[in-house]
Structures are given as structure tokens and as C-alpha cells.
Amino acid sequence: MPTREPKQERSRATRQRLLESAIDCLAAYGWHATTMGVVAEHAGVSRGAAQHHFPTREDLITAALEYMTESRLERIRAEVDALPQGPGRTEAALRRVVDCFTDPLFKAALQVWTAAAADERLRARIVPLEERFGRRAHHATVELLGVDDSDPLAHRLVQATLDMARGFGLADVLTDDSARRSGIIRQWAATLDAALAPGREQPEWTL
């Protein structure tokens, strides 16, 4: 019994290294170059040890995408208490949402989406994960912005916010788009504040 726990801990640590290495390799080298051998070498483990945890590359990448999803959502949730109160809160919340779509995790996920578009088996694995992430990202953004999601306008504006954040993530893949998006985030924050302020006349938007 005394020797089992350290072995289990080593196994968990190896699995964690493989997941993190898969994300690093996807972001740095792309889908085609992220083989089991490359990930195993990056993680500092043997290919056999890697395949003990993940028999196929698809198993590894699917698990890595789940890990990415949890990591990205945890980042959003962790920011709620750190947001400033009063003026500036909406802009600060938006910047945190956008950060989650312009970091290496998003770039790694983008490599998987691109590959899944041309691989039916991989797509069957990835689409349910992304649908789940979309739902949970929406709820996390609602919490960050502090809006009433039962309000149809607020619901659509949160969806528009997430669509905008994904667009920023795509624009940031090839070039640093931070200067341009900073001004857009500031303007979008003002738009949200004006549209969702209590007692304000609501615009008839059909987002």
C-alpha cells in the first residue's frame, strides 16, 4: 500500500505533462507536426509511456482539448472577484474574455478545429466538446458582465461578445492585433453599458 500512492502521483504527473505538451506543440508546430513522438519528447517521457495514457493521437488531442476547455473557463471564472466595481467594470470584464481567445490555448484549439474540418472522425469527437465549451463560456461571460441572461437582449449581446472575442483570436493568429482591438473593446464596453443600463430605452437590435 505505501508504494501505490507515489506511483499514482507519478502517473497523474506524467498525464498532466503530456496534456500540457500537446497544447504547447499544437500552438507552436501545428496539427500535422504534433505527433505522439513529438509530444512525448517534449514532455520528457517515452513514446510507450505516452501511449499507455493515450493509445492514439486522437485520444491525446481530445483529452488535451478538454483540458484546454477547463483551463480557459477556469481563467474566466477566476477573474470575477478581481473585477473593479463601478465605471470600468464592463471594459475590464471584456478584456478578460478576449484574453481567453487570444492566448496560446486558443491558438492550439484552432489547430484542432482546422484539422477536424477535414477529418470526420476527429470532428465527431471535437464538435460535442466545443458545443459544451460554448455553453459554459456563455454562462461564465454572463457572470463576468453581471447581466441578466433571461433578458433576450442581454443574451444576444453576450453571444455577440463571444463571437467578437473569437474574431479577435483569429485576427491575432498571424499578426499582433492588440492595438486595434483595444479601441474596439473600449467602444463595445460603452455600447453594452448603454444598451443594458437599468431604465434606459432598449434599442431594437436583432443580433
Q: Confidence band (pLDDT; 50, 70, 90) for 198?
A: low
* Residue percentage of the chain with pLDDT more than 90: 41
Question: Of residues 196 and 41, which shows the higher confidence score?
Answer: 41
Most confident region among 47-51, 85-89, 96-100, 130-134 by mean pLDDT = 47-51
Q: What is the pTM of this model?
A: 0.78
| Domain ranges, ordered by start, for the chain | 57-196
Residues 169-179 pLDDT 10s: 998 888 888 88
Q: Confidence band (pLDDT; 50, 70, 90) for 106?
A: confident
The mean pLDDT of 20-24, rounded to a whole number, is 92
Q: Of how many residues is the chain composed?
A: 207
The one-letter amino acid code at 155 reads: H
Residue 182 has which C-alpha cell? 483595444
Q: Write the DSSP assignment of the chain as a string of letters.
A: -TTHHHHHHHHHHHHHHHHHHHHHHHHHH-TTT--HHHHHHHHTS-HHHHHHH-SSHHHHHHHHHHHHHHHHHHHHHHTGGGSPSSTTHHHHHHHHHHHTTSSHHHHHHHHHHHHHHT-HHHHHHHHHHHHHHHHHHHHHHHHHHT--TTSHHHHHHHHHHHHHHHHHHHHTTTS--HHHHHHHHHHHHHHHHHHHSTTSPPP----
